[in-house]
Amino acid sequence: MAKCAICEKSVSHGNKISIARSHVSRRASRTWKPNLRSVKAVVDGETKTIQVCSKCLRAGKVTRA
């Protein structure tokens, strides 16, 4: 399963609720996937290709090779 190598963000599950949002509204399950990017980064002095979420990339938590 896809997971960020830095913050370990992964797929989350929940319910899709209808627009009416009434007590008897029908629900369908859905998933939210993280925005992952394949990046060549320096990990322990070596260049590796890792999966990193865009939030960690923007925050500067990854040293790109």
Number of domains comprising the chain: 1
What's the average model confidence in pLDDT over 42-61? 96
Q: How far is CA 43 from CA 23, 35, 53, 59, 62, in A?
A: 50, 21, 16, 17, 9
pLDDT at position 16 is: 87
In tens, the pLDDT along 1-25 reads 789 999 999 999 999 887 776 666 7
Determine the structural domain holding residue 44 and report its residue range: 1-17+26-65
pLDDT band at 57; cut points 50, 70, 90: very high
Q: Which residue in this structure is represented by tokens 């009434």?
A: 22
pLDDT at 33 over 80: yes
Q: Structure pTM?
A: 0.77
Identity at 16, one-letter amino acid code: K
